[in-house]
Copies of this chain bind each other. A is one copy, B any other.
Amino acid sequence: MRRSDLERSVDSASTGAAVTLEMVAAEAGVSPSTVSRILNGTAKVRESKVRAVEAAISKLRFTPNPVARSLARGRSMSVGIVTQSFGSPFYGEALTAIEQRLMRANYAALFVSGHYREADERRCVDHLLARRVEGIILLNSCLPSLEIVNLARGAPLILTGRSVTAERIHCIDVDSTAGASLATQYLIDQGHRRIAYLAGPADHADAVQRLNGYKTALATARIPFTKKLVAEGDYTAHGGLRGMNELLDAQAEFTAVFAANDETAYGAMLALHRRGIRVPQQVSVIGYDDLPASTFMIPPLTSVHRATAELGEHAAEAIIAMIEDRPVVRRETTPTLAVRDSTRSLHR
């Protein structure tokens, strides 16, 4: 015996944590198997025993030990979620939804953050795998595709924001192309023709998609694409500030800017403000992601909205389905535009 009985009883008295199924069985006068069966509903048990066991359970305040359970069942009942940043309000909503959904299905959620760094992300994933998660949700992973495919042999995977086709991998495509098109198209509809673009980092899958969406919309409207109107940011406000300054310093002429994400737009707006250029009077600004803060920017920012909570819930549902070997229901969400005060029409 590793721990003395005295110790045991003391801490069961004080913490109520050390109650075991066996104790419940003894209290109820049945065998442990019976208790287990009642707990799991794995077999029919005589009504009188069920009642006795339930009484014992609530008397002893028993909660089954998930660790022992996991070991016995050979299932950890946990899934790993690799996010890029806890702070980002964008991920925040998704994380909340994921957590809720998983908890509801009795899975534990292990969140780790990769900080958009390949090495960090790799470490995170290894950590999760070592913890024996049964599935992993990768939110906008920046790992190479080949590695992701390999990973899928260790656990089923859900990917958002990129698409990798392989066994045990399910991608939830956020279709940034469509959203970027939508935003650009909106500006065009408002009469803008010289539309600048503040891009995301070129090595980001969805940054590329967004750039493509921008180009597509221009092409559709027969507006030539010029590199002069594009500056590369890094998805941060700081990058947006710098990008906008570059554009301005290069004397680029434009009546509207489409920023690859809201944070970039914040930086851009600040740069414009500093130069005394008024938004939206002189330049319209549109963002992407529709962060909560965007509603309260000055002026409130028009932005492409995506249903992140739904995305998170869907991701959670998908990983559960894969773990439990059920077909994954595909659910598409299309981005919409939250029109606010940072854009104006050139018509009339």
Contact = CB atoms under 8 A, between A and B. Distances in A.
A170 to B, nearest CB: 17
A71 B67 contact: yes
A228 interface: no
Of the listed residues A74, A131, A295, A298, the one surrounded by the most CB atoms of chain B closer than 10 A to its CB is A298
A3 interface: yes
B96 A87 contact: yes
Contacts of A130: 63, 66
Contacts of A103: 112, 127
A95 interface: yes
Interface in A34-89: 63, 65-68, 70-71, 74, 76, 85-89
B88 A111 contact: no
Given A89-B87, A111-B109, A127-B103, A74 B296 contact: no
B129 A17 contact: yes
Contacts of A74: 2-3
Interface stretch (A22-30, A265-273, A325-333): A265-273
A32 interface: no
A86 B76 contact: no
Interface string A278-298: 000000000000001101111
A127 B106 CA distance: 10
Number of copies: 2
A134 B141 CA distance: 31
Nearest to A96: B86
Contacts of A273: 298-299
Interface string A249-267: 0000000000000010011
B87 A92 contact: yes
A155 B86 CA distance: 25
A93 interface: yes
Contact of A86 (B92, B127, B266): B92
A70 B88 CA distance: 33
A275 to B, nearest CB: 12
29 contacts: A3-B74, A15-B153, A15-B154, A16-B154, A17-B129, A63-B129, A63-B130, A66-B132, A67-B70, A67-B71, A67-B76, A67-B132, A86-B86, A86-B99, A87-B89, A87-B92, A87-B93, A87-B96, A88-B92, A92-B92, A99-B112, A103-B127, A110-B110, A237-B293, A238-B296, A240-B296, A266-B297, A267-B296, A293-B293
Interface of A: 2-3, 14-17, 63, 65-68, 70-71, 74, 76, 85-89, 91-93, 95-96, 99, 103, 108-113, 115, 127, 129-132, 153-155, 237-238, 240-241, 263, 266-267, 269-270, 273, 292-293, 295-300
Given A63-B129, A87-B292, 19 more contacts: A2-B74, A16-B153, A66-B132, A67-B70, A67-B76, A67-B132, A86-B99, A87-B96, A88-B89, A92-B92, A99-B111, A108-B110, A237-B293, A238-B296, A263-B293, A263-B296, A266-B297, A270-B300, A297-B298
